[in-house]
């Protein structure tokens, strides 16, 4: 199988601090793999390990079938990347910054610079010094540098940082187009859960340097917790009626009944009828699905997911 | 070779677009004016006293308004001023990548790191040579304007060779500052080291060991102590210092963790 990224037991320790450990990843060709984690989870360290900027304490990494080694020239001709905040040479114009990037990728034609400027919506700023750009345009310049040489693999650290909503949509569509039409593989690290859920086909959840879970989007759908929330004027009576009918309900702190049994989730109309017949008609019946954020917080054990009384 | 040409183009573009050339050129121009001012005082001491340029108690013994003396202090200015200014150029060219966070864009690229570093050293050498030539030309012009005496062909030839060799010694001497800028990830460490080197240079020269202190060798060569007591080992030490600086920088860029 052709794996653009493969790591085996990869890890990095700084003194007594373990930034990443036991990381075994397999990213398939043409997929968008999102690395999800809180600040300090080890996302950037992983990207630096994959780019050969820091040497692993344990394990190995292969990028485009090449073992990653510090200071090596391979396989970077086919890799584009954006690590943390994009920095550019402030005194150079947008065009010159991209020309610098082009000359660092031999074989990239001079036309590629103008092309990427157009594509990233930087034409109006081409002759502006990078130091005068807004955060959003600096981010666009960073992405332009990553995409300039039409790489087969993109490693992007928080690619949506600093972009306005329209810019976020634009970049999302661009990345989807690159994977769909050119088979580019995208590995992105982010803490923006909403963005990740819209973009990625597979998600790796990283917490305190460890990969807690890897799942594809369909799997996420299945694993996300669903619950039926019921409100009534007499909650205790409603809970009793549901319990008698074989639907155990938990009382939440905010005065709502929570049902998680499958029949309730699949037939909320039956629950409503049952309560009406028991003389405690519901004032609200709602199926709520856990979103990625709640799922993530529940997984990493941080309060913020569904809470119970 | 093509990669090296591209890398040199990149470094030249970055350097010429920055303020570094302006500031370092201004520094050397101020130095040239200072030396010319000194020669003016030697040439016209009574006038200088009468208009208050120097105090009535100023001691002008030891100097003379002649080309040999002028070229001699010019050599020392290159040796000592060059150490400061060239190390500043070296620190900027290497340290800026760390200070500005642009280093990461130079690391995972299909261009050998040796080429990127060599291009930086080439730009430092070119700019240092340019500054030296500028300082010498401006100084010669000012000296000619003042009509200094003893300006024979032999004096100019000897002076030119001395200045050129002193400049080359300093340029090689400052290569380790690329390493200090890289290890210190910015400008502070190399600037601290250059001050330390200047102080130590004075101390070891007074103690009589200056010939074995690589950063004191250019000033000694230019005639700081008034006699040419350098040995072959002195020049070899300068060469080894430069090579060690280049090698250390390469090894640091290639094998150290780069988190900036």
pLDDT at A39: 83
Least confident of A166-170, A194-198, B171-175, B190-194: A194-198
Q: Which residues of B touch A79 (CB under 8 A)?
A: 108
Whose tokens are 């050339």? That residue is B21
Tell whether A87 lies on the interface with B, counting CB pairs under 8 A. yes
If you average pLDDT over residues B148-156, what whole number do you get?
A: 85
Best residue in B10, B23, B107, B108 for a mutation probing chain A (most A CBs within 10 Å): B108
Closest chain A residue to B106, measured at CA: A104
In which domain, by residue range, is B68 found? 2-255
Map out the domains of chain A with their CATH numbers: 5-221 (3.40.50.300), 226-289 (3.30.70.270)
CA distance A61 to A47: 11
Looking at the complex, report in whole angstroms how far the Cα of residue B97 sits from the nearest Cα belonging to chain A: 9
Q: Kindly state the percentage of chain B with pLDDT values over 90.
A: 69
If you average pLDDT over residues B128-132, what whole number do you get?
A: 95
Q: Is the residue at B260 inside a domain?
A: no
Task: Identify the band that residue A302 occupies on the pLDDT scale cut at 50, 70 and 90.
Answer: low
pLDDT at B208: 86
pLDDT at A308: 43
Tell whether B158 lies on the interface with A, counting CB pairs under 8 A. no
Least confident of A163-172, A283-292, B249-258: A283-292
pTM: 0.86
Q: Is the residue at B32 inside a domain?
A: yes
SS3 A205: strand
If you average pLDDT over residues A190-207, what whole number do you get?
A: 85
Name the more confident of B26 and B45: B26
Looking at the complex, report in whole angstroms how far the Cα of residue B6 sits from the nearest Cα belonging to chain A: 6
pLDDT at A309: 37
Task: Tell how many helices (H) and how many strands (E) occur in chain B.
Answer: 11, 0
Tell whether A15 lies on the interface with B, counting CB pairs under 8 A. no
Nearest by Cα to B96 from B5, B176, B19: B19
Among A52, A53, A91, the residue with its CB nearest the CB of B18 is A91
Structural domain tally of chain B?
1
Q: Kindly state the percentage of chain A with pLDDT values over 90.
A: 67
CA distance B119 to A78: 24
Among A73, A76, A103, the residue with its CB nearest the CB of B10 is A103
Backbone angles phi, psi at A291, to 5 degrees: -90, 175
Contacts across the A-B interface (CB distance below 8 Å): 83
Q: Is the residue at B198 inside a domain?
A: yes
In angstroms, how far is the first alpha carbon of chain A from the final one?
A: 49
Q: Is the residue at B91 inside a domain?
A: yes
């Amino acid at each position: 199988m052709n794996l653009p990224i493969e790591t085996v037991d990869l890890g990095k320790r700084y003194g007594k601090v373990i930034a990443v450990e036991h990381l075994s990843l397999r990213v398939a060709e043409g997929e968008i793999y999102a690395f999800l984690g809180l600040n300090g989870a080890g996302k950037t360290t992983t990207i630096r390990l994959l780019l050969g900027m820091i040497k692993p304490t344990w394990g190995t990494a292969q990028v485009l079938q090449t073992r990653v080694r510090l200071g090596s020239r391979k396989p970077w001709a086919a890799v584009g990347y954006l690590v943390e905040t994009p920095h550019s040479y402030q005194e150079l114009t947008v065009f010159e910054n991209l020309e610098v990037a082009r000359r660092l990728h031999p074989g990239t034609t001079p036309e590629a610079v103008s092309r990427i400027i157009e594509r990233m919506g930087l034409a109006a700023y081409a002759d502006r010094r990078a130091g005068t750009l807004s955060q959003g345009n600096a981010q666009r310049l960073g992405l332009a540098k990553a995409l300039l040489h039409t790489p087969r693999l993109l490693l992007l650290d928080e690619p949506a940082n600093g972009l306005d909503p329209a810019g976020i949509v634009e970049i999302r569509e661009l990345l989807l187009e690159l994977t769909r039409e050119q088979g580019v593989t995208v590995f992105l690290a982010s803490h923006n859960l909403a963005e990740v859920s819209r973009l990625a086909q597979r998600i790796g959840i990283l917490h305190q340097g460890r990969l807690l879970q890897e799942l594809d989007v369909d799997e996420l759908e299945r694993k996300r917790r669903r619950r039926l929330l019921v409100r009534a004027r007499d909650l205790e009576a409603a809970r009793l009626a549901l319990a008698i009918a074989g639907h155990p309900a938990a009382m939440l702190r905010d005065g709502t009944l929570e049902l998680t049994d499958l029949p309730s989730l699949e037939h909320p109309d039956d629950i409503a009828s049952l309560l009406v017949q028991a003389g405690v008609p519901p004032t609200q019946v709602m199926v709520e699905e856990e979103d990625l954020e709640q799922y993530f917080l529940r997984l990493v054990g941080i309060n913020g997911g569904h809470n119970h009384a | 070779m093509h990669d090296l040409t591209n890398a040199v183009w990149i470094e030249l573009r970055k350097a010429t677009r920055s303020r570094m050339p302006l500031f370092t050129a201004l520094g050397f121009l101020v130095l040239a004016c200072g030396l010319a001012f000194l020669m003016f005082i030697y040439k016209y001491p009574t006038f200088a006293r009468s208009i208050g340029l120097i105090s009535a108690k100023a001691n002008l013994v030891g100097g003379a308004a002649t080309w040999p003396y002028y070229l001699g202090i010019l050599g020392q200015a290159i040796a000592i001023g060059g150490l400061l200014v060239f190390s500043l150029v070296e620190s900027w060219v290497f340290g800026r990548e760390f200070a500005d966070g642009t280093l990461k864009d130079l690391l995972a690229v299909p261009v050998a790191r040796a080429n990127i570093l060599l291009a930086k050293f080439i730009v430092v050498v070119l700019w240092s040579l340019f500054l030296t030539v500028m300082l010498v030309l401006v100084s010669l012009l000012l000296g000619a304007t003042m009509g200094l005496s003893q300006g024979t062909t032999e004096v100019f030839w000897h002076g030119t060779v001395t200045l050129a060799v002193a400049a080359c010694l300093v340029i090689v001497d400052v290569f380790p500052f690329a390493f200090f800028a890289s290890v210190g990830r910015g400008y502070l460490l190399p600037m601290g080291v250059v001050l330390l080197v200047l102080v130590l240079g004075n101390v070891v020269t007074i103690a009589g060991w200056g010939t074995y202190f690589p950063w004191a060798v250019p000033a000694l060569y230019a005639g700081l102590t008034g006699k040419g007591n350098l040995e072959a080992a002195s020049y070899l030490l300068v060469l080894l210092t430069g090579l060690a600086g280049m090698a250390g920088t390469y090894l640091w860029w290639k094998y150290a963790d780069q988190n900036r």
